[in-house]
Amino acid sequence: MKSDIVSRKEIIILVDSFYTKIKVDFTLGFIFNEVANVNWDKHLPIMYDFWENTLFYIGSYTGNPVKLHTHLHHLTPLNNTHFEQWNKLFLETVDENFEGPNAKLIKQRAISISMVLAQKIAQTKKSEQVLKNSKLKKRSYFFGGSSTPSITCIMPLEAGILAIILAVPLT
C-alpha cells in the first residue's frame, strides 16, 4: 500500500520524480532544458516550497507563476498540448507514488493551477493579437494648462475595447 503525502519529505519525492520525467519528455523537456535553461539545483527547492505551500499552506513560496509562465510563453509559445502533457505526467507521478486524501487534493490543485495558467496565457495571446491587429488611435487630454498629458488613451478604432489608459496625477 502506498502512503499519502503528509510532509515536505513526500513533496520532495513527488517533485524529484516528476521533474525526472519532465527533463526527458519529448513535449516538455526542450522548454525546461533549452528554452528556460533551468538551473535544477535552484529550481527544485523552489518547487518543493511551491507544492508544500499549495498542499499544506506553509507559506514558504513567494513567486509569481503567472508572470513566469507568461514570460516563458514569450520565449516559446505554450499551448494546450503542453499543459495537457504536464497534467498527465504530474497525475501519473502522484499515482505511482502516493494515495490518500492529500494525494487526491494535490492532483486537484495541480489541474486547477494548470487551467489558470493556460487561461492567463490565452488571455495574453488574445490581448496581444487585438492590439497587433487593431488600428490604434491615441488621444491625450490636457488639464490645468499643463503641457504633460493628464490622461492618455490608446484605443482600437473598433468600438468597445479600451487597451491602455495612462493617468498622470493632476497637480
Q: What is the pLDDT of residues 49-72, one digit of tens each?
A: 999 999 999 878 888 999 988 989
Q: In this structure, are 100 and 155 located in the same domain?
A: no
DSSP class of residue 161 equals: -
Q: 148 or 164: which carries more pLDDT confidence? A: 148
Neighbours of 138 (CB within 10 A): 10
Q: In this structure, are 112 and 44 located in the same domain?
A: yes
Asked if residue 2 is part of any domain, the answer here is: no
Q: In this structure, are 101 and 156 located in the same domain?
A: no
Which residues are CB-neighbours of 166 under 8 A, at least 6 positions away? Answer: 149, 151, 152
CATH classification of the domain holding 73: 1.10.490.10
Transcribe 73-133 into DSSP letters. HHHS---HHHHHHHHHHHHHHHHHH--SHHHHHHHHHHHHHHHHHHHHHHHHHHHHHHHHH
pLDDT digit string, tens, across residues 113-158: 999 999 988 887 655 555 556 655 555 555 555 555 555 544 454 4
Q: How many domains does the chain have?
A: 2
Which residues are CB-neighbours of 113 under 8 A, at least 6 positions away? Answer: 54, 65
- Cell 518543493 belongs to 48
Over range 85-105, report the average pLDDT: 98
Asked if residue 1 is part of any domain, the answer here is: no
pLDDT digit string, tens, across residues 17-44: 999 999 999 999 999 999 999 999 999 9
Q: In this structure, are 52 and 116 located in the same domain?
A: yes
From residue 107, how far is each of 40, 41, 51, 104 by CA, in Å?
23, 24, 11, 5
